[in-house]
Amino acid sequence: MSFLSSSGFDPNQLETRPEKAATTVNERAKWSPLLERILAAASDLFSRQGIRSVSVDSVIETAGVSKPSLYRLFGSKDQLAIAYLERHEQDFWRKLDAIAALHPEDMQQRLLTLLDWIDSEVSQPDYHGCPLTHAAIEYLGGDHPVRNAVIAHKRTIRQELVKMTQQMGAAQPALLADQLFQLIEGARISGQLLLGEGSRGALAFSGRQLIEASLLPAQPRAAE
């Protein structure tokens, strides 16, 4: 049965055409079936086993390519890992663009639909968590390019939430953006752990309460 939230959101509305890999990592190399095959093999291995535990040899064996081909296109395993993460990042922004197209003038509805989409995603029994969060855990501490790529993406999401809450007219947009960001990240973790057993709609419901509360007029203080 299709999930339809109180905001009228249907996940099928956000289906977008798959795009060829066009990451900042491989912009210097033209897209090709070979590049796609390597990235697809790496993505499957990284998502199932983690980035650190997968060797370059495993990737080239799975993809059926030579090691020089991989290094010519990606430069290093770290750059391949970043390309894998960027693909997930691109998917997020494509979905956000699709949501914006559904609600071009209504920022509140845009935020609610974003929460509904993520709620639907993390409530699936086969949900395995956020690949970027997984990568951040694998690369704890230090100045590592993979971790830096994750941090940059998450910061950009927060900045977008701030922009959206400002345009919506929230009383404290930065605070609301932080609250929504933490709700989203928490839902991604709990969805991975509970495997669909959690309360479907909890993220969207909690987010709606925060959004509506942020738009209420300030109550005057009672005279002392």
Residue 178 to residue 175: CA distance in whole angstroms: 5
Per-residue DSSP letters for 139-151?
A: T-SS--HHHHHHH
How many other β-carbons are positioned within 10 Å of the β-carbon of residue 222? 5
pLDDT for res 223: 55
Residue 22: what pLDDT? 42
d(CA 72, CA 87): 19
Q: Which residue has the tokens 């969805």?
A: 191
Radius of gyration for the alpha carbons in the chain, expressed in angstroms and rounded:
20
CATH dotted code for 103-217: 1.10.357.10
Give the span between the Cα atoms of 27 and 42, in whole angstroms.
Answer: 18
Residue 199 token pair: 């309360």
Q: How many CA atoms lie within 13 A of 130 on its CB side?
A: 20
Among 122-131, 175-184, 213-222, the minimum mean pLDDT is found in 213-222
Structural domain boundaries in the chain: 12-76, 103-217
Residue where the block lists tokens 């909890």 = 202
State the architecture of 12-76 in CATH terms: Orthogonal Bundle (1.10)
Residues 128-137: what's their mean pLDDT? Answer: 91
Q: What is the pLDDT of residue 221?
A: 59
Fill in the amino acid letter for 127: Y
Q: What is the mean pLDDT of residues 169-182?
A: 96
pLDDT score for 27: 52
> Matching CATH topology for 12-76 and 103-217?
no
**Percent of the chain scoring above 90 in pLDDT:** 69
State the pLDDT at residue 21.
40
Give the residue-averaged pLDDT of 85-113.
94
